[in-house]
Structure formats: structure tokens, C-alpha cells
Amino acid sequence: MARIPKELVDQIIQTADIVEVVGDFVQLKRKGQNMWAPCPFHNEKSPSFSVNPAKSLYKCFGCGKAGGVVQFVMDVEGTSYVEALKYLAKKYAITIEEEEKTPQQQLEQNERDSQFIVSDWAKNHFHRLLLNSEEGMSIGYGYLKERGLNLATIQQFELGYSLDSWDDLLKAAETAGYDKKYLEKTGLTVIKTDDQGQDTGRRYDRFRGRVMFPIHNISGRVVGFGARTLKRDDKMAKYLNSPESEIYHKSDVLYGLFQARQAIRTQEVCYLVEGYLDVLSLYQGGIKNVVASSGTSLTEGQIRLIKRYSDNVTVLYDGDAAGIKASLRGTTCSSKAA
């Protein structure tokens, strides 16, 4: 594991403003000397989670979680100490000089970080293919352009394209030195089984010939993908999503929330739409406080996520109206015809 010099650790901790860092995850409100919010670690209605800005500490009087700014990032992101420091360094534009590591050394940091790393690499691979390969340009980019998306939006949401091939990603991962087991763990590849369901030892790319929509968690790391085929084949699902993994829990992720969260907080309302392209079109049109519940019907976990930023949700699709109303109980919810 990489070592970060002590002076740099001190600099990161001194620079990081705990109110800002925590404020990226919950809506803090001042009451007396402390700031308060519903706890991000347990489910509750009245806030028992407090931040003391003067001492740079947080404490929840409900579940007992407490600590400083690095501990908060470790708790909320489920990462290691070093990863939490890196997260803060990135947020405050502090450069961490690390010795160059091979992809294999990076992968050894730990299983979870490895899955983040391979997902990020795959995202870059798909993005390159969209903008730099003949197939990606003509099919993927062509489709997105036809849907009115411009290059800035495509880059901001890091959209991509997977080649219509059984092993393009597999081969590229091998060349880049990544361990294939993380491709399996994140669902980027599929294990080929025989008639009895036994592993044949063969693997193939899950996403083939599809426009790729990377799904980010709340701190901007890619945890999975939504993927749309452009083939006219009734037997093929139009949309395919990454399966659940150690880093991707569908019920706790909303598409677009990473990009939308500041706007949701400042505008004090979150628009909920049906699909990836709805999010992208509205965002490009200047309505930035918009998210979609990708590949699932709306869950309690997703509502809790939105409520970190605003109590107001406006639903912009019909969907299963009753189901949505039930999930949104306790939230100021209105519906508008899309």
C-alpha cells in the first residue's frame, strides 16, 4: 500500500473543512455551536448527527459513530484510510506524489478498491472507443448526437461505447495488466457455463455493441454501467445493467446524483426522471437538479439519498404511480406530466 508522508497527511487534515466534507453527503443545519443533520449511517427522522466545526469532529447520538474528517470519509465511503486521504486530497487539489505503481500493485491494495479501479479503467476504455474508434463514432456517438447531446455533456457524464465483440474489453484488460477476476466481480465479463451450469473457464464481455452510461456513486467513482443496444433485435434487451457487486448496490444509487447534488441543494428540489437520456437532456438544457433510478423501481435507499440534499422531489414520469407515492411517503412530492 502506498505511504503518504506525515507532513502531507497533516496538510490534508488541516485543509479539509469538515462542514464542507460532511455537507457533500447530508444537509447540515446550524443549531447553537454545532451543525445538525439526519445521520448518514443510520435511518432516522429527527437529526441526531452533529458536526462540531471548531473541533473538526462529528458524532451521532443515535448510532454512536464519531470521529474526525478522515474517519468520516472512511465511514461514509467504506474505504481504507489511504483512500480517504486521497479522496480529501482530490477535493482540495492537494497533490499526492506517489511512486509509480504497476496496475497489479494497484490491484493489491484491497479487493474493493480494485473493483473501483477496474471500473474506472473500463469507463475510460469505453469513452475512448466512443470518440476514437470508427464503430464507436459512427454507431455510438452518432446515436447520442441524434438524441441532441453535445460533446461537453458526453464528456461530463463520461459516456462510452463497447465494441460489438466478445473479448475487446477482456483483451484490453489483459494488455493493461489487470487481473481478470475483477472484471468478473464487477460484472464486466460473464462466466461461460456449460449445460450443467459448470464453469467452463471461458469468459466473455457482458457489454457488446452498446452505448455505455457509467453509473457514479455519490463521491463520483464509477460503480457500474447502464448500456443501451442500438441493434434492432426483439430478443435482445434494449438496456442492460451491471449486476449487483461489492461496490454496486442498485437500491442505493441514483443515476446523475453525483453531478446533480449541488444543484439539488441550492434549488431545494430534485427532479426524478425515468432514464439516462432524460437526465442528460435536462442537464444539458440547464436543469441540473435531475436524477433517474436506473434499472430498478424507486427504493427507500434512493429516497434517503435524495433527502440528504432536499426534502422535495418532483416526479417527471408516470411509471408505477402508486409505487412511487408509497416510496416517497414523508417527502414533499409532486408529479408533473413529462
Residues lying near Zn ion in the complex (CB under 5 A) are found at 39, 41-42, 60, 62-63
Comparing C-alpha atoms, which of 184, 256, 251 is closest to residue 213?
A: 256
Q: How far is CA 242 from the centre of its chain?
A: 12
Query: From the CB of 75, what's the least distance to Zn ion, in Å?
Result: 10
Which residue, 170 or 218, is less far from Zn ion as judged by CB?
218
Query: From the CB of 184, what's the least distance to Zn ion, in Å?
Result: 35
Longest dimension (CA), the chain: 66
Query: From the CB of 38, what's the least distance to Zn ion, in Å?
Result: 9
Query: From the CB of 26, what's the least distance to Zn ion, in Å?
Result: 11
Q: How far is CA 207 from the centre of its chain?
A: 18
Which residue, 42 or 147, is less far from Zn ion as judged by CB?
42
H helix and E strand count, the chain: 15, 15
Query: From the CB of 39, what's the least distance to Zn ion, in Å?
Result: 3
Cell reading at 294 = 436506473
> Which whole-number Å values give the CA distances from 171 to 122, 176, 304, in the listed order?
12, 9, 40
Which residue, 46 or 175, is less far from Zn ion as judged by CB?
46
Residues 6 or more apart from 324 whose CB is under 8 A from it?
297, 298, 315, 333, 335
Q: Which residues pair with 222 in a beta bridge?
A: 216
